Amino acid sequence: MEYLDIDALAPLQRNLASLSGLYLALYGERGNLILPPSNENALLMSLRGAPTARDEYREFLQASMKRALQRSDVSIFKGPGELSHFFMPIRIDTATFLVVGGGVFASSEDRETFLKMPATEYGMSADRQKALAQEVAIRGSSELQSIARALCSIFSLGLRSSYRGAILEKRYRLVKAVFGLLSDVQPEKEPDKLYDIILDMILFLFNVESIAIMVREGSVLKARRTGGRMRDYLSTVTCRISGILSDVIEKQRPLSSDSAMDILRLGFSDKIISFHAFPILSENRVTGALLICNSSVSEEDADIIFDICRMMGGSLRIAELEGTYYRCLKEKEVLNTAATRLIPVKEPDVLYETILDMSVRLTEAEKGSLMLMNEELSCLTVRAAKGINRRLLTDIKVKAGEGVAGWVFKEGVPLVMDDIEKNEWGFPKRHKYRTGSFVSVPLKLGEKIIGVLNLSDKISGEVFSEDDMALISSFASYAVIALERSTYYSLAGHLKALSVTDSLTGLFNRRYFEERFFEELNRSDRHNLAFSLAMIDIDDFKLFNDSEGHLAGDEILKSIAAIAKDCLRVSDVLARFGGEEFAVIMPQTEREEAVLVAERIRRSIKEQIPSTWSFFPRKSITVSIGIATFPYDGKDRKELIRNADKALYMAKMEGKDRTVPWHAKG
């Protein structure tokens, strides 16, 4: 893809795939593969590689992508081998991408269904079929959809940053090329030589079909220089200043049309099917127009071409072009500074202060504020302030359309003003400011406006200029990218927390438990330390669920998790091991101390959970606990967990509601 930095996206894809335990791939709108799958499991690779399943998998992908593109949310589809995949469309401006991933079983029934399929259909033996199936995780549809949404939220931020950053880079290089060419223009050149340079530059850089520079003579525009495929025809044209051209002259702004009536009224033949007209200004007066015919011109390119037309101004005002060139160099310096200083900052509060500090320095302002939209409150709130008492701004909430910042946010256009007391919009006076001059620019993320940057009171006492506004607007483009990346890092941290947390109880999950157990085993073995493992199981939990319902059972699980957590030390690790079973890792804890901790948990659960059930035949909720201690009850993972489970089984056999260390019956 022309506007994607694949080298930057690939590490993000690999990290997200590894973090979630799912494979991840990126496709274009037409099904073209942009980033190949990362973190595919062995079963999925075998299915895709099997001759008999290759076509089935390809057809599944094509059909699923076609269906997913019709939606805006995550779609979950079951593919070959009963493996579930998610598909999520991401739309950025006019481009559409598809994030595809998953490759897991949605249920144990899906795994069993796959195992009943003839292994030879997928080019493997029955033993390999079984082995590969056991390696694949089971993620319920709702869990898979939740993870997919989080993954796609983060990945879409990376995509947007890459896509829009590349567009900004392209525009920057185009502007740099334009001003590089204009820097060669010498003041002594004749007007026609300047026009030739401008024509050649626009033909080359913007790939237009035909172009003409028209000079104003009374009520008509006559061709002075032409270029492109229809240069001979355009050299004979004289256009009446009427219709759409009147608007170009009077309003001093570019306009375009593909209306046959507009074209005929201006004096063109049917050879012209569309045109763009840009006014050429000299001392705030339109001296001519640049016409581009039968060509498509984007809004970004039109902005640059209009700037070029402003710089022409006439054959004797080339010196003005030189001044504009130096302003462009200043903008380039601003963008380079923004890239080096803003992009590495990830902490939101630090980033807010950095953006405002750079804005104040660039415009030499005394005061400023950065306001961002608070989606929950539906208003702008102050995130950073300079030269203003921060406490006074804490409670300020500005709705769209209110005051200067609210107006800029609502309209999405920058505003510069010499004196607010003489404004035509009826903005209130600014009693707390030294001057009435200010600049306010919107922070745009694509078509969405996320905040406003406000600057006031130049140190010199002068008013803010259009150049100040243009400079800050350019800087704001990079500031928004930095804000977007900061959001990405925050979401990445959230996803990491989700990947190690049980969604029901809020405790660590089995995956995190296994990692910490392995670390503690190695640490204790290396330093000759003891540690204990407690396995906790709720007594008669199936009976409780059958009599009170699964929702009530979920509440019991959450209550036990909270109570057990309060009974443990900071260094202890409490995890949901599965179903109604919990596990506790107690570092540097001998067997006797572990029993005391387990007993505290057991008694607290029995005493603190109120008896609010209707049909469960027990007076209280109780748990049974089994304990194994390293190194006495086992020196590896399997042995310790097995002996803790055996101790738990003994507690059940001895009447439940008790704690049993393994050595007691060992």
CA 121 distance to own-chain centroid: 41
Q: What's 95's domain CATH number?
A: 3.30.450
Total domains in the chain come to 4
Q: Are residues 317 and 208 in the same domain?
A: yes
Averaged pLDDT, 365-386 = 84
Length of the chain: 666
Q: What's 308's domain CATH number?
A: 3.30.450.40
- Distance CA(115)–CA(256), nearest Å, equals 64
What's residue 421's pLDDT? 64
Residue-number span of the structural domain to which 54 is assigned: 6-160
Ranked by mean pLDDT, the top range of 234-248, 377-391, 478-492 is 234-248
CB-based burial of residue 10 (10 Å sphere; 0-12 exposed, 13-18 middle, 19+ buried)? middle
What's residue 154's pLDDT? 86
What's residue 319's pLDDT? 45
| Residue 216, in any domain of the structure | yes
Checking if the pLDDT of 324 tops 70, the result is: no
**Residue at a domain's end among 298, 330, 362:** 330
Checking if the pLDDT of 366 tops 80, the result is: yes
What's residue 189's pLDDT? 52
**Residue at a domain's end among 310, 330, 350:** 330
| Residue 170, in any domain of the structure | no
Checking if the pLDDT of 3 tops 80, the result is: no
Longest dimension (CA), the chain: 110
Output DSSP code: residue 81: G
What's residue 511's pLDDT? 86
Contacts of 626 (CB under 8 A, 6+ apart): 534, 535, 644, 645, 646, 647, 648, 649, 650, 651, 659, 660, 661, 662
| Residue 464, in any domain of the structure | yes
Residue 662, SS3? helix
- Distance CA(441)–CA(439), nearest Å, equals 7
**Residue at a domain's end among 277, 309, 330:** 330
| Residue 317, in any domain of the structure | yes
What's residue 666's pLDDT? 41
Q: How do residues 126-149 score in pLDDT, each as one tens digit?
A: 999 999 999 999 999 899 999 999
Q: Are residues 467 and 537 in the same domain?
A: no
CA 623 distance to own-chain centroid: 44
Strand bridging mode 379-386 / 623-630? unpaired
What's residue 60's pLDDT? 93
β-bridge partners, 404: none
- Distance CA(21)–CA(541), nearest Å, equals 30
Q: Are residues 111 and 150 in the same domain?
A: yes
Q: How do residues 518-544 score in pLDDT, each as one tens digit?
A: 999 999 999 899 999 999 999 999 999
Lowest mean pLDDT among 117-131, 321-335, 424-438: 321-335
Beta strands in 171-303 (DSSP E): 210-217, 220-228, 238-240, 255-257, 275-282, 285-293
Q: Are residues 13 and 122 in the same domain?
A: yes
| Residue 173, in any domain of the structure | no
Q: Are residues 244 and 144 in the same domain?
A: no
Q: Are residues 447 and 469 in the same domain?
A: yes
Q: Confidence band (pLDDT; 50, 70, 90) for 653?
A: very high
Lowest mean pLDDT among 101-110, 311-320, 338-347, 628-637: 311-320
Checking if the pLDDT of 644 tops 80, the result is: yes
Q: Which amino acid is at 439?
A: V
Q: Are residues 305 and 346 in the same domain?
A: no
Averaged pLDDT, 8-34 = 88
Q: How do residues 563-595 score in pLDDT, each as one tens digit?
A: 999 999 888 999 999 889 999 999 999 999 999
What's residue 180's pLDDT? 62
What's residue 594's pLDDT? 94
| Residue 165, in any domain of the structure | no
Q: What's 619's domain CATH number?
A: 3.30.70.270
Buried b (16+ CB within 10 A) or exposed e, 181-209: bbeebeeeeebeebbebbbebbbebbebe
Q: Confidence band (pLDDT; 50, 70, 90) for 7?
A: confident
Q: Are residues 368 and 223 in the same domain?
A: no
- Who wins on pLDDT, 25 or 376? 25
> Whose structure tokens read 């799958």?
37
Under 8 Å between Cβ of 154 and 492: yes
Residue 43, SS3? helix
Q: How do residues 178-202 score in pLDDT, each as one tens digit?
A: 666 555 555 545 677 778 878 888 8
- Mean pLDDT, the chain, rounded, equals 83
Q: Confidence band (pLDDT; 50, 70, 90) for 396?
A: confident
| Residue 544, in any domain of the structure | yes
Lowest mean pLDDT among 44-48, 237-241, 491-495, 561-565: 491-495
Under 8 Å between Cβ of 396 and 404: no
| Residue 503, in any domain of the structure | no
- Distance CA(371)–CA(389), nearest Å, equals 15
What's residue 316's pLDDT? 38
Percent over 70 (pLDDT), the chain: 84
Q: Are residues 223 and 249 in the same domain?
A: yes
What's residue 286's pLDDT? 84
Percent over 90 (pLDDT), the chain: 33
- Who wins on pLDDT, 185 or 414? 414
Q: Are residues 656 and 527 in the same domain?
A: yes
What's residue 391's pLDDT? 62
What's residue 317's pLDDT? 55
Q: Are residues 549 and 489 in the same domain?
A: no
Averaged pLDDT, 422-429 = 59
Checking if the pLDDT of 224 tops 60, the result is: yes
Q: Where are the alpha helices (DSSP H) in 313-347?
A: 318-341
Q: Confidence band (pLDDT; 50, 70, 90) for 662?
A: very high
Checking if the pLDDT of 294 tops 80, the result is: yes
Q: Are residues 210 and 307 in the same domain?
A: yes
